[in-house]
Amino acid sequence: MQIEHRSARTNGISLHVAECGPEDGPLLLLLHGFPEFWYAWRQHMPLLAAAGYRVVAPDLRGYNLSDRPTDIADYGLEVLGRDVTGLIDAYGRDRAFVVGHDWGGALTWRVAQAHPERVISAAAINCCHGDVLRRAALTRLSQARRSWYILFFQLPWLADKWLATDGFERLSRVLVSTSARNTFSAEDLAAYRAAWGQPGAITAMLSWYRAALRHPAPKPERERIAAPFLLIWGDADHALGFELTGPSLALCDDGHLERVVGASHWVHLEQVEQVCASLIAFFKDR
């Protein structure tokens, strides 16, 4: 199925979106993580569209071709959640299926918790509930070591410059070194470098991390996740330990875990067909 591109207005900004599938199909949003953009879902979109979904993969706020506000507070999770609900509105829908990886997963958890009436069912890929990660980073040395980069990303200018040096060579090496062999081709890395090289993009991408510590989202009225929730987890993740899955699912009324043994943080790219099949099976008849 052909992937088409356009801009969508939501929450006072414009997001570039890629879309695929029948226009009258159930809306399925794919939310990328750091340092990705819509392109991370290019192989998933036709497979999910063939199952009948109207699949939409935005460049999230600050990324690639989407708008980039300059205030760090504009990247707080509460604001980002309104981007998602506004995108559902932009497609004329009341509710949607929501899937996210990494930061997109954090956003999925937030929307499912704070805006349950807008979510049919949700899935996060290698991203635990935010409260669980915060507790683990403070109480578990192993997770604190894994999360060191979050503190480094707080450094203004220096972190931005470090990532951009030599045509984003360091950031490219991170993708390759933390994934299975051949997950990221030379063509893929060129596409990512082009997205990272958009004016102001790296600073905006890091603003997600900076806002998380400086402008934390208020606690939602509802503590638990009501919508059916699938957590897909590659258990060889370099950044997040598998032990985060249990406490996260304990916050769900209807939580399910799919462990992918030996897969990395980038399991959605390493196992495209398996991840899509899992999503289709979980979302079916919901």
User: Within a 10 A sphere around the Cβ of 151, how many other Cβ atoms?
Assistant: 13
Strand, helix or coil for residue 245:
helix
The catalytic position among 32, 129, 265, 268 is 265
Instruction: Give the long-range contacts of residues 175-179, CB within 8 A, separation 24 or more.
Output: 175/35, 175/266, 178/238, 178/239, 178/264, 178/265, 178/266, 179/264, 179/265, 179/266, 179/269, 179/270
265 a catalytic residue: yes
Residues 6 or more apart whose Cβ sits within 8 Å of residue 106: 77, 100, 124, 127, 130
Which of 39, 53, 75, 209 is labelled catalytic?
209
User: Cis ω on the peptide bond leading into residue 69 (within 30° of 0)?
Assistant: no
Is-catalytic flag, 71?
A: no
Which of 59, 102, 160, 188 is an active site residue? 102
Say which residues have a Cβ less than 8 Å from residue 169's Cβ, sequence separation at least 6. Answer: none
Tell me how crowded residue 89 is: count the other CB atoms within 10 A of its CB. Answer: 16
Give yes or no: 63 in active site: no
Q: Which residues are catalytic?
A: 102, 209, 265
